[in-house]
Amino acid sequence: MSKKKKIGIERKSFNIGMLFTYIVLYAFSITTIYPLIWVGQNSFKTSNDLIESSFTLPTSFMWDNFKNAITKINIFQGYANSLIISGTVVIVVIFFSALAAYILARFEFKGNKIIRSFILASMLVPVFATILPVFKILANVGLIDTHVGVILPQIAGNIPFAVILLTSFMETVPNELEEAAKVEGANVWKIFSKIFVPITKPALATSAIFTFLWSYNDLFTSLIIIRNPEKFPVNRLLTEISSQYGTDYGLLCAVIILIIGPVLSVYMIGQKQIVEGMTAGAVKG
């Protein structure tokens, strides 16, 4: 009886507290959403309209800024370059990391622990500490100003997170499956490709999405390695635009939308996996 009463009291005081809680939470969500809406609505305005009011919705949908962005710079080329770079990075990182993770999670051998610590440590090394010698290596083998020159260091940079995430998932696969396959005479490659790859698909997808986002968003590597604008990924290409046309605000808004469009679509599609994968990876790391 008395317990019931208490809950009743709780619910009453709950309501005011709840209302306040929701107000704070919604207010904060405005700070993350509104900036994007502001940029989005202004990407359809001329610079003059923008100076008059940046808060109003555009009166007519003016695509000129987007047309401008596309003609002034070859943005499709930029997307293609990004796709070549990030696509290759994702495929190589996932394949090599899955192989390594399978061994680390499933084989006991001398050096397993050392290799794990080495991989963990390499995740903590900032890119600044390696980029100058990497630049020299790439210059020595003639890879400066090539896509491969960006792809190779990006692969190395993304492997640690993927291996750590995948290892922790592969460790949870039940032993029985593997034993049964062994009894039936399956070799290691078969066990890996027919059992572990299908079972760890969600983890593979999470690692792939993150590798893609980090590769697509990376400016540093391409800034240093690539010189020819025709080979620039989107990010790098649009950085040039923003310094060249710094006063055409409508154009700049369109440019920002064009950079973040692809990542926001990836986020919308994979948001559950992204949010959960980030937690799993971060808490483990």
Partner 1 sequence: MLSNKSKRTMTIFLFLAPALLFLVIFLAYPFVINIIDSFFKSDGFLQSEYIGLDNYRRLFKDPTIGTAVKNTYEIMFYVCLFEVGIALILAILVDNIKKGQHFFRTVYFFPIVISATAIGMMFKLFYAYDIGLLNSFMTMLGLEKQVWVTAESAVKMVAIPIVWQYVGFYFIILLTAIKQIPRDLYESAYLEGINGFTKTIYITLPLIKGVIITCLVYAINGVMKIFDLVLILTEGGPLNQSMVLGLYMYKKAFADNAFGYAATISLLIIVLGLATITIVSKVFKREQITY
Candidate list 4, 12, 60, 107; residue touching partner 1; CB under 8 A: 107
Ranges within 198-227 binding partner 1 (CB under 8 A) = 213, 216-220, 223-224
CA distance 245 to 240: 9
How many Cα atoms within 13 Å fall on the side-chain side of residue 30? 5
Phi, psi of 55, rounded to the nearest 5 degrees: -95, -25
Nearer residue to partner 1 within complex by CB, 29 or 172: 29
Candidate list 97, 167, 207, 211; residue touching partner 1; CB under 8 A: 97
Q: Does 127 bind partner 1 (CB under 8 A)?
A: yes
Nearer residue to partner 1 within complex by CB, 79 or 135: 135
Q: Which stretch binds partner 1 (CB under 8 A): 57-65, 142-150, 168-176, 258-266?
A: 258-266
Candidate list 41, 46, 146, 242; residue touching partner 1; CB under 8 A: 242
Q: Which stretch binds partner 1 (CB under 8 A): 58-66, 70-78, 100-108, 200-208?
A: 100-108
**H helices of 200-248, where?**
201-217, 220-225, 234-244
Token pair listed for 264: 């926001």
CA distance 282 to 28: 24
CA distance 209 to 94: 10
Ranges within 30-89 binding partner 1 (CB under 8 A) = 31-33, 35, 38-39, 42, 47, 50-51, 53-55
Phi, psi of 126, rounded to the nearest 5 degrees: -70, 150
Q: Does 117 bind partner 1 (CB under 8 A)?
A: no
- The residue whose two tokens read 């400066």 is 144
Q: Does 91 bind partner 1 (CB under 8 A)?
A: no
